[in-house]
Amino acid sequence: MSELRLTALALPTAQVGPVNPLPPLFAGADLHEVADASQADDEMRYNIGYGRVPSVMPYLLQDGYTRERAPAEHPAAVLENATLRATFLLGAGGRLWSLIHKPTGRELLFRNPVFQPANLALRNAWLAGGVEWNIGTIGHAPTTCEPLHAARVVRPDGTPVLRMWEYERIRGTVFQIDAYLPDDSQVLLVHVRITNPRDTEVPMYWWSNIAVPEAPDVRVLAPADAAWQFSYDRRVRHVDLPAPDGQDLTRTTRSQDAADYFFDVPAGRRRWIAALDAGGRGLVQTSTDRQRGRKLFLWGQGEGGRHWQDWLSEPGNAYLEIQAGVARTQLEHVPMPAGARWTWVEAYGLLEADPAAVHGEDWAAAREAARDGVDALVPAGVLDAELAAAAAWLDQEPVDILATGSGWGALERRRRVRAGEPPFEVSGTPFPDGTLGVEQEAWLELLDHGRLSPAGPARAPLSYQVDPAWEQPLRDADGWLALLHLGVLRAHAGDFEGARKSWLHSIEHRPTAWAWRSLAVLADRDGELTEAARAYREALRLEPGLLPLVLEAAGALLRAGAPQEVLSLLAALPEEQRALGRVRWAEARAALDSGDTERCGRILREGIELADVREGEGSLHELWFAHQRATGSAEPGLPLPRAYDFRMLAAS
């Protein structure tokens, strides 16, 4: 009998923490910038350049976490039948955290033993493990560490469905995830629908990122004979499978460096991807044809890659990722027409295939053996039938509300009504007024009364908008707060001169740290370092104790060649803040730049832990080597301390 129930999952937890109040005007975009796509075809090259965003706005960054963990319980939903038990974290983007094959007791996913945010997502905070649902723009989704709306729905045959949904603010679309386990099903079924309610085309992105255990006997298989390789040198290469340059990339423990491999699946072949152990068993994901792409990500066996694995979990918990998306690669957005609804069905289960074949030297025989196992587990016709049958219940109203997401869908519903635009079709994915919260209060006031009432110049705005639909209401509202928001909206649209004028007018109404800081970020972006430093000083004069502002200003002052000023700025911080990793790094860098190599060396020896070190960031190892060069001790054999080695390429 299929069952859906609520529970709580206890994990050692580092809380995500509060958002950074400073809007990421030109930051937060993904790392997948392409330097060379000459080997890509015309369609891929177009999609690579299409739909890029300047930042993760209107979302704020989630960088308030640490490395300190304490036991905590996380709300979860469990789907279970006789074969599988699936656990979803409702407060972490609806992530499928665990999938257990009950007859064997086998965990099919990499289930992280800890809840530890790290800086890999568009908004910074990200979790390793399970299956993550990514939508909107290239990268780990803005909702990956946020609660989703969740409810119980019942199919016509009585099967319970876990429905999760949210309004995605970058693209202005609604996504809906319906997960269910029919009584006799050997696979978890996940129906996904994306709705574009707008009257314009939007660039779209979706990838289901699946973490599975990595081991020397695990091989990744997919129905392709070639792949698009993308590594941290930002180049796209078309390579043969399984062993370009003599190294079998489908056996991930044999690779030194981190890399992405997007399988070049020929038209007409069934879409699937699997990671199988020495016995020919492991997780498989397959889908209907809308989900076109398949990918392998590996961390590599270099010191930096192994360090990342430990950093994201606990030592001894290595994983790799097999992924599936609506484009061929994660470097692309695809055009979604106005008013379109895209749907597909994904299936997750235990694949069993001939171990001699899947681990043999004949790649074609290996993938065909795995394909035969997929067809036996869940025939393609079964998924096609599920997709067709879902039309009867996708818009069915929830039976019980299990969790509440953000109030942004409710605000957008209200805005559309007031603007006379077509309303959301939300019977199956409701956004009731009861979900509106403090982040939406200012925008409700603007909608209903045509004004923004500031709480006070010392209080940072709780939220921002970049949808052009809000420009005219902001222009009509006037006042320092409306002008501040208008500048943010214009900057996101690329109207930098209009943004600058709005922020200057905001300051004329009322000088605030928020407008001065925005002017500083704009000047820094334009390479006007002297002007950026001046604007940061004005912002700090108004809000000297705001740590995110202090750190941002310190970075700009370092780029402007003012390390002594940075040291003075940091010295004024409270002792507990001076002990934080980002502050210690800035102090060490400023000391080195001012010629105080002894002070820099002492800080490096004592240790700098950047809780939010970014994937691909070189701050730590670059500082270490810079100090070595400055002191004349850059010996060829002098090792970089492991604590500072997050390099994604061994030679970087």
Residue that the structure tokens 């007409």 belong to: 268
Q: What are phi and psi of 454, to 5 degrees?
A: -70, 145
- How many residues can be counted in the chain? 652
Those residues with Cβ within 8 angstroms of residue 632's Cβ, 6 or more apart along the chain or in another chain: none
The Cα-based distances of 122 to 32, 139, 281, 285, 480 in angstroms read 11, 6, 34, 25, 29
Q: For the chain, how many helices (H) and strands (E)?
A: 18, 25
Q: Where are the beta strands (DSSP E) in 143-185?
A: 149-154, 160-168, 173-180
pLDDT at 335 (0 to 100): 98
pLDDT at 501 (0 to 100): 98
DSSP annotation string for 258-277: -EEEEE-PPTTSPPEEEEE-
Q: Exposed e or buried b for every residue in 447-463, given b needs 16+ CB within 10 A?
A: beeeebebeebeebbeb
- Over residues 76-98, the pLDDT tens digits come to 999 999 999 999 999 999 999 99
Confidence band, pLDDT 50/70/90 cuts, at residue 651: low
Q: Mean pLDDT over residues 164-192, rounded?
A: 98
Count of Cβ atoms closer than 10 Å to residue 134 Cβ: 23
Spatial distance between the Cα atoms of 420 and 360, rounded to a whole number of angstroms: 62
pLDDT at 634 over 90: no
Q: Mean pLDDT over residues 44-63, rounded?
A: 95
- Over residues 415-430, the pLDDT tens digits come to 999 999 988 877 899 9
pLDDT at 308 over 60: yes
Task: Specify the DSSP class assigned to residue 251.
Answer: S
pLDDT at 27 (0 to 100): 81
End-to-end CA separation in angstroms for the chain: 54
Crossing angle (nearest 10°) for helices 597-606 and 619-630? 140
- Over residues 209-257, the pLDDT tens digits come to 999 999 999 999 999 999 999 987 889 999 999 999 889 999 999 999 9
Identify the bridge partners of residue 273 per DSSP, sorted by sequence position. 285
Confidence band, pLDDT 50/70/90 cuts, at residue 28: low
pLDDT at 73 over 90: yes
pLDDT at 516 over 80: yes
Q: What are phi and psi of 59, to 5 degrees?
A: -75, 150
pLDDT at 426 (0 to 100): 77
Share of the chain above pLDDT 70, in %: 98
pLDDT at 637 over 60: no
| Average pLDDT of every residue of the chain | 96
Confidence band, pLDDT 50/70/90 cuts, at residue 478: confident
* Residue pair 325/208 in contact by the 8 Å Cβ criterion: yes
Spatial distance between the Cα atoms of 105 and 126, rounded to a whole number of angstroms: 28
Identify the bridge partners of residue 212 per DSSP, sorted by sequence position. 320
Structure tokens given for 14: 């580092």
Q: Mean pLDDT over residues 43-57, rounded?
A: 95
* Residue pair 317/166 in contact by the 8 Å Cβ criterion: no
pTM (whole model) above 0.85: yes
Whether omega before 242 lies within 30 degrees of 0, making that bond cis, reads yes
The Cα-based distances of 545 to 188, 298, 540, 548, 578 in angstroms read 50, 41, 8, 9, 12
Confidence band, pLDDT 50/70/90 cuts, at residue 29: low
Spatial distance between the Cα atoms of 10 and 73, rounded to a whole number of angstroms: 4
Q: Mean pLDDT over residues 54-59, rounded?
A: 96
Q: Mean pLDDT over residues 180-196, rounded?
A: 98
* Residue pair 536/519 in contact by the 8 Å Cβ criterion: no
3 state DSSP class of 240: strand
Task: Specify the DSSP class assigned to residue 62.
Answer: B
Share of the chain above pLDDT 90, in %: 92
Residue that the structure tokens 């609804």 belong to: 341
pLDDT at 81 (0 to 100): 98
pLDDT at 31 (0 to 100): 58
